[in-house]
Amino acid sequence: MYACSKRCPVLVLVLVLVLVLVLVLVLVLVLVLVLVLVLVLVLVLVLVLVLVLVLVLVLLLLLVVVVVVVVVVVVVVNLRDHEDLYVKKEIYLPLTKLRMLLYRNLLKRAHLVIQRVRGTSSRILLADICQVVNAGGWNVDEEELECILSLLIKSGKVKGKLDPTRDGMKEDGKEDGKEDGNEDGKEGKAERRN
């Protein structure tokens, strides 16, 4: 009994130390799990903030397009309504040049919106541009928009090419380019634009 009483305090001390070590390890594991959870929550919050920021930027871009469309509409309508006054004041030509610059800025912003929505495609349909500018309040059809784009490309204000084919468009049951006895599909620029 004397030998057991000497060993028992040592065993009790070893057991207490083992229990303390196990408790410390459990506390360390709990702290690591809590830190991992906090890091995951922070990453989720950062992702949500980035998504909100991207949405805000897209909305701001759309707002800029709408503002540019409104400015273009005001200038174009004002130019048509007061054409005689502007001719008398000799500012009609600078205003028409300004109108083309406004068209350029509007179409470039519409191009940016379409690229952001559809991806990084370098080819954009005329119908998409027409939808964007019509959504902004500028009532324009595709033919008028094509004419404006061709003028901007010809003057060097916009880089790009217009596709001369109009796939799927038919007029009065005839294929495009084969109307009024013109069987070879070739037509003059003025006839095509009308």
Residue-wise pLDDT for 6-59, tens only, equals 557 777 878 888 999 999 999 999 999 999 999 999 999 999 999 999 999 988
CA distance 66 to 106: 9
Question: Does the model's pTM come out above 0.85?
Answer: no
> What is the separation of C-alpha 104 from the centre of its chain, rounded to a whole number of angstroms?
18
Q: If we measure between CA atoms, which residue out of 134, 77, 81 comes closest to residue 107?
A: 134
Where helices occur in 82-136 by DSSP H, the ranges are 83-88, 92-118, 126-135
Q: Which H or E element spans position 15?
A: helix 2-81
Per-residue pLDDT of the chain in tens (194 residues, 90 and over written 9): 455 555 577 778 788 889 999 999 999 999 999 999 999 999 999 999 999 999 999 888 888 887 877 777 776 666 777 788 888 888 888 887 787 888 888 888 888 888 888 776 677 788 888 888 788 777 788 888 888 888 888 888 888 888 776 532 222 333 334 334 433 333 333 333 33
Give, in degrees to the nearest 5, the angle at Cα 128 between 124 and 132.
Answer: 125
Where helices occur in 82-91 by DSSP H, the ranges are 83-88
Q: Is 138 exposed, middle or buried (0-12, 13-18, 19+ CB in 10 A)?
A: buried
